Amino acid sequence: MDRAVISKYRLKMRKLLEEEKELVQIFMDTNSLVKGNTYKMMTKCGKKSCRCEREGKLHLAWRISRSHKGRTESRCIDKDRISECKELTDNYRRFRQARAELVKIHTEQIRLVNLMEKAKTKEMFY
């Protein structure tokens, strides 16, 4: 058994556990999530009496989009709900990024456990 190698693996495992603790805080958070993305774009509103119809000047509009049943859906966001929608979609993005990072950490932990097992295992001759 090579103690230096095992010690190196244990140090890596401790580091991964600390990273995992930070991610768990994101999962334990009570913030709501909305799947999707918020963005702003220039668009026509479609009202006959509006300047966008008369003069061709576009409006700045905030939208939220999401993928649903394989199709992208997009909706306008009311002005009084823009910050709420941004926060909810940002929460979702942060949650999903943390989830992906957790998968990487667990994959590395399993790899380290396998390496530790190999380093600790002795061949016995019967």
Q: Which residue is it, tokens 């119809």?
A: 53
Query: Contact, 41 vs 58, CB < 8 A?
Result: no
**125 is a domain residue:** no
β pairing state of 37-43 and 71-76 = unpaired
At a CB cut-off of 8 Å and minimum separation 6, what does 58 contact?
A: 42, 43, 44, 52
> Does the residue 34 lie in any domain?
yes
pTM for the full model? 0.78
Domain membership of residue 126 (yes or no) is no
Domain contains 72: yes
Tokens of 62: 């905030």
Owning domain of residue 106: 3-120
Predicted confidence (pLDDT) per residue in 57-116, tens digit: 888 889 999 888 999 999 989 999 999 999 999 999 999 999 999 999 999 999 999 999
**Residue 48 included in any domain:** yes
**For 1-41, what is each residue's pLDDT tens digit?**
678 889 999 999 999 999 999 999 999 999 999 999 999 99
Number of domains in the chain: 1
